[in-house]
Amino acid sequence: MSALSRRNVLFGGAAVGAGALLTACTSNDPGTSAQVKTNESGDANAAPGQKVVIGFSAPAADHGWIAAITNNAKAQAAAYSDVELKSVAAGNDAAAQRAAVATLISQKPTVIVMLPHDGKELDAAGLEAMKAGIPVINLDRAFPSRAAYRLQIKGDNFGMGLAAGAYIGEQLKSKGISNPIIGEIPGIDSLELTQERSQGFNTALATYGFKVANRRPAEFTADSGQAAATALLQALPKMDAVWNHDDDQGIGVLAAIKQANRSDFFMVGGAGSKAAIDLIKADSSVLKATVTYSPSMASSAVSLARLIGQGKGMNDLVELQVPKEITLSSETITKENADRYAALGF
């Protein structure tokens, strides 16, 4: 009996000790830097004006990009002395976000900035807010009804594929490769955004007379990227170029390339993460370029929400009000311009 209890004490002690040690190991502050527009040029729009309350709703982040969206919105709002950001957690699905937006409307903010779980499912919520006299800024995932938003600001998925295809096409043409083998690693294949990206990619490649030789979808996670890339590399023992849709899953794709000890091709990324931009700048891997789909749109959405709330327009435009739709251009980041984009990485 005494032996047993001693054993129990030892095990118990070890468990408590390990527990204490591990709880200390959850600290995690990578010090994320947000993409904020600071205006020191004496622009008339920058001067503090009428106070604007911005209601903000975005899905719970499960991916670096969404996390950056929320960070950016908060940081941009903090940069203005006349803006107050009321952020409501949108929960895990469209129904939860509808409820959250309803609460938000009842609080009567000046403007609402919303990244919906799904544009179609939150369309009604946008209409309701507009009916209540609150201008809605529809971020990235588009509402089908044009009455559901005052401003729509979004990225260009088709343009992303187009930019990646154009870069790959140009590079291969300048190298004089006439019949190149091109691989593609998309994200979750059932999503509309993935299909648009692939369409853009194929369209651009077709203008050079090229096509994708093999396509292995991943799931926007690094471990799925590793698995997809390993399969792709095995299927194409010789390859000239590959486009990976997402820099987050690209961590796994690059790991797989290193594990397979391959360097016979170049790679283009997607989204424009800080790590990818740094790697392109260092020019130390197969990653030579990335095409942006930048979460900086959240910062811009907050800036424009402020202007809409104050009834101001964009200074460089003739119109007195902010336009209704803005689609960001997908830009190609290479070694040459990486310095300029370094601040926009997320």
Partner 1 sequence: MTAEAVRARQRRWNLDDNAVRNLGLVGVLVVLVVIGVVTRPELYADPTWVRNNVLTILQQASAIGVVTVGMTFVIVGGGIDLSVGAIIALAGVWSTTLATQSYGALGMIFTALVVGLAVGVVNGVLISYGRLVPFIATLAMLVSARGLAAQISGKQTQVSTNDTINNLATTRPLGIPLLVWLLAVVVAAGWVLLNRTTFGRRTVAVGGNPEAARLAGINVKRHTLMLYALMGLCCGLAAIMLTSQATSAQAAMANLYELDAIAAAIIGGTLLSGGRGTIVGALFGVLVFSTITNLFAINNLSTEVQNMVKGGIIVAAVLIQQFRYRSLTQLLKR
* DSSP letter for each residue of 96-118: HHHHHHHHHHHT--SEEEE--S-
DSSP 1: -
Stretch that binds partner 1, among 140-148, 156-164, 208-216, 307-315 (CB under 8 A): 208-216
Looking only at residues 247 through 266 of this chain, which bind partner 1 when binding is defined by CB under 8 A?
248, 251-252, 254-256, 258-261
Span between the terminal Cα atoms of the chain, in Å: 59
Q: Does 134 bind partner 1 (CB under 8 A)?
A: no
Looking only at residues 213 through 232 of this chain, which bind partner 1 when binding is defined by CB under 8 A?
213-217, 219-227, 230-232
CB-based burial of residue 25 (10 Å sphere; 0-12 exposed, 13-18 middle, 19+ buried)?
exposed
Stretch that binds partner 1, among 64-72, 105-113, 168-176, 314-322 (CB under 8 A): 64-72
User: Least Å distance between CB 293 and partner 1?
Assistant: 16
For partner 1, the binding residue among 8, 107, 178, 234 (CB under 8 A) is: 234
Q: In the structure encoding, which two tokens stand for residue 73, read together?
A: 């919105």
User: Least Å distance between CB 260 and partner 1?
Assistant: 8
Q: Does 62 bind partner 1 (CB under 8 A)?
A: yes
Q: Which residues contact 329 (CB under 8 A, 6 or more apart)?
A: 156, 159
Q: Phi and psi for 228 in degrees, rounded to 5?
A: -65, -45
Stretch that binds partner 1, among 15-23, 36-44, 72-80, 303-311 (CB under 8 A): 15-23
Q: Does 193 bind partner 1 (CB under 8 A)?
A: no
Note the maximum CA span of the chain: 89
CA 117 to chain centre: 14
Strand pairing category for 332-334 and 287-292: antiparallel
Residues making contact with partner 1 (CB under 8 A):
15, 18-19, 22, 24-30, 32, 60-64, 66-67, 189, 213-217, 219-227, 230-232, 234-235, 237, 248, 251-252, 254-256, 258-261, 275
